[in-house]
Amino acid sequence: MPSGIVLKGDRFGSDGGHAVLLAHGGGQTRHAWRSCGAKLGRAGYHAVAIDLRGHGKSDWSPDGDYRVDRFAEDLLAVADTFDRPPVLVGASLGGSSGLLAQGEYALQDRRGFAGLVLVDIAPRIRQEGADKVLGFMAENVDTGFASLQDAADAVARYLPHRPRPKNLDGLAKNLRQKADGRYYWHWDPRFVASSQRSQGDGRTQRMEAAAQSLTVPALLIRGTNSELVDAAAVQRFAELVPHAEIVDIAGAGHMVAGDRNDRFNSTILEFLQSWSSGQGAGASGSG
C-alpha cells in the first residue's frame, strides 16, 4: 500500500469468480459486509472486504492523514492486486473514496474498477447529516465505554429506528478492549478530526467532476430515510451520470446494509449479475 500501510481483509468465494471489492463507511470495519460477502461468495463471485486504513485491524496512518485522497489511493492499490479490475462497492466513505479513485485518479493511467456501486453517498450530501454522523463518532472517542451494553445503548440512541440486537457479537467486532478494561471504537481517533477538517475542501466540486467522468457501469443505492443523500442529491447524480442505475431502499437510513440487509444484498447481486452477464463466463446463480 502507499506509505507502507498494511490493510487487512476477508475473502469470500473463489479466485475464479468476478472480483468485487467491498469498502465500508467511516467508523465501520470489514465485518459490516459479512452477510453481503457471504452471499456474493455463494453466488460465485470473488468478494474481498477490507478494513480501510485507520479502521479495524488495518494500519493507522502514521501522520494521522485521513483525507479522502489517501483512501482513494489505497483502493486503487488494492484493485491492482486482482487479476482483473474488481467492481467497487463502497458505503459512505468507501463510496466517496471509490468515486474519486475511479473518476479522478484512474484517469492518470491507473486501472481502476470495472464498475462502481455507491451506497448512500453522492457528490452532493446534506452537511447536517454528515455533521450528525461525525458527531456520533466523536462522542465517546476518548472515554470509550464501560461495557458492550453501554456501547449498544449509544448506538440505540443514534439509530432508534433499528431493532436492538440481542446478541452483541457483531457490535464487539467494531470495538477493541484496552488495558483499562474499557471498550473503544475500532478506528484511529484522529480519523474524526481529519474528516472534520476536510469537509469544506472543495469536496462537492471534486466529486461532481469525478462523477461526470465515469464511464463504467454505476449504481447508486439510497436509503429513503437517509440523513445524507436526499432526493435533490439523487437527481443531481442522475444528471452527472446518466447511464447510472438508481435504487431507493424503503425504510433504510444512511446505514442501508444494516437497516435492510436482505433487500440491500439482493440489489447488489442483481446489479452484479447484470454486469457480469455482459462479461462472458463468470459468476452465475443467486446464492
What one-character-per-residue DSSP string does 33-47 give? GHHHHHHHHHTT-EE
Distance CA 21, CA 78 (A): 8
Q: Grid coordinates in use for 254?
A: 444512511
pLDDT at 141 over 80: yes
pLDDT at position 106, please? Answer: 63
pLDDT of residue 287: 31
Residue 56 or 282, more confident: 56
Give the residue ranges of DSSP H helices in the chain: 34-42, 68-79, 93-103, 127-139, 148-158, 169-172, 190-197, 203-212, 231-240, 256-259, 261-276
Q: What is the pLDDT of residues 163-188, one digit of tens each?
A: 888 889 889 989 999 999 999 999 99
Whole-number pLDDT of residue 277: 75
Percent of the chain with pLDDT over 90: 74
Residue with cell string 474498477: 113
66-96, pLDDT tens digit by residue? 999 999 999 999 999 999 999 999 999 999 9
Task: State yes or no: pLDDT of 286 exceeds 70.
Answer: no
Q: How far is CA 39 from CA 192, 218, 256, 272, 273, in A?
A: 32, 20, 16, 12, 13
Sorting pLDDT into bands at 50, 70 and 90, what band is 159? confident
pLDDT at residue 283 above 60? no
CB-based contact 275:87 (threshold 8 Å): yes
| Res 42 pLDDT > 90 | yes
Q: Could you say which DSSP state residue 144 is in?
A: -
The pLDDT score that the predictor gives to residue 282 is 39
Q: Provide mean pLDDT across the span 133-144.
A: 89
How far apart (Å, rounded) are the C-alpha atoms in residues 16 and 183? 39
DSSP state of 193: H
Q: What confidence category does residue 201 fall into, taking pLDDT thresholds of 50, 70 and 90?
A: low
CA 264, 268, 274, 280: dihedral to nearest 10 degrees?
-150
pLDDT, mean over the chain = 90
pLDDT digits (tens, 9 = 90+) for 98-130: 999 999 876 667 789 999 999 999 999 998 988
pLDDT digits (tens, 9 = 90+) for 202-241: 889 999 999 999 999 999 999 999 999 999 999 999 999 9
What does the pLDDT average to over 139-158? 92
**DSSP symbols for 85-139:** PPEEEEETHHHHHHHHHHHTGGGTT----SEEEEES--SS--HHHHHHHHHHHHH
Kindly tell me the burial class for residue 155, based on how many C-beta atoms sit within 10 Å of its own C-beta (0-12, 13-18, 19 or more).
middle
The type of residue at 153 is: D
So what's the pLDDT on residue 281? 39
| pLDDT at residue 146 greater than cutoff 90 | yes
* pLDDT for 163: 82
- Residue 200 has a pLDDT of 59
Query: Is the pLDDT assigned to residue 2 strictly greater than 80?
Result: no
Q: Please count the other Cβ atoms lying within 10 Å of the Cβ belonging to residue 263.
A: 17
pLDDT digits (tens, 9 = 90+) for 10-31: 999 988 899 999 999 999 999 9
As a dihedral over the C-alpha atoms of residue 126, residue 127, residue 128, residue 134, rounded to 10 degrees, the angle is 120
Whether 164 contacts 156, CB under 8 Å: yes
For the ranges 56-70, 194-208, 265-279, the one whose mean pLDDT is highest: 56-70
